[in-house]
Amino acid sequence: MAGSLDEKTAVVTGSSNGIGFAIAQHLATEGANVVINSRSQTRAQEAAEEIDCSSGVLPIEADVTDYSSLRSLAEQTVDEFGSLDIWVNNAGINIRGPAEDISLDDWQTVLDVNLSGTFYGARVAGNRMIEQGTGGNIINISSMMGEQGQTGRTPYNTSKGGVNNLTRCLAVEWAEHDIQVNAVAPGYIQTDMVDDAQDQIGFEKQDVVDRTPLGRFGTVDEVANCVAFLAEGAHFMTGEILHPDGGWLAFGWGSKE
């Protein structure tokens, strides 16, 4: 059965688990060849073996903070599948703490992975897509936190705000090459990262549910659906930030209760 992404090739960074894995699985289900990426070849290989699809799956170890590593990833992708059509910058981290206490190393690490890593990936993909001359889709995974200020999340929120404006800038600059650059900025999605945040910060999940108009956490599959929609490219959108956040940003005040 034909999928909407047949004969396309997609790279998803940080795709050995969580949202990244769900995105890779969804793109593969739609017919794309998919590159699974992790900083560990073992984790990438294990994730690749779990992908259920009839298209090609290739695990590649690469560090998004290392530009040459990402360039090698792109070269291996093209060598294996012949083209690079979709690139999803998903890899990201969060280090929390009061702004007055967080170490400069931790600040730099978050920016290196979340913002510089996104630029490096987009630049590698953009150069390849320009060379191919067939356009393409670059999708950056941001966060609704990029639109907000929050206690204890200065590095993360700042990095995601940068990702949003990076998305807009690249969209404008590469439109002449028919490269669409968009972002997906989720709200609270049920992942291990959210569980870690709950342990570190001590927030109650019910508080999040009460603050979210749709009254629940989102799922990784719902985020993947948004990415797949953007990856198809048939939407006349570039430079947009989609917010699968259950209405969080639209809701102006307090708790539903």
- The active-site residue, picked from 67, 120, 156, 188, is 156
State the amino acid at position 235 in one-letter form. H
Cross-strand pairs, 137: 86, 180
Return the structure tokens found at 173: 């600059």
State the amino acid at position 203 in one-letter form. F
Q: DSSP labels for the chain? A: ---TTTT-EEEETT-SSHHHHHHHHHHHHTT-EEEEEESSHHHHHHHHHH---SS-EEEEE--TT-HHHHHHHHHHHHHHHS---EEEE---------TTTS-HHHHHHHHIIIIIHHHHHHHHHHHHHHHHTS-EEEEEE--GGGG---TT-HHHHHHHHHHHHHHHHHHHHHGGGTEEEEEE---SB-SHHHHHHHHHH---HHHHHHHSTT-S-B-HHHHHHHHHHHHH-TT---S-EE--STTTTT--SS---
Is 120 an annotated catalytic residue?
Answer: no
Residues annotated as catalytic (active site), given as ranges: 156
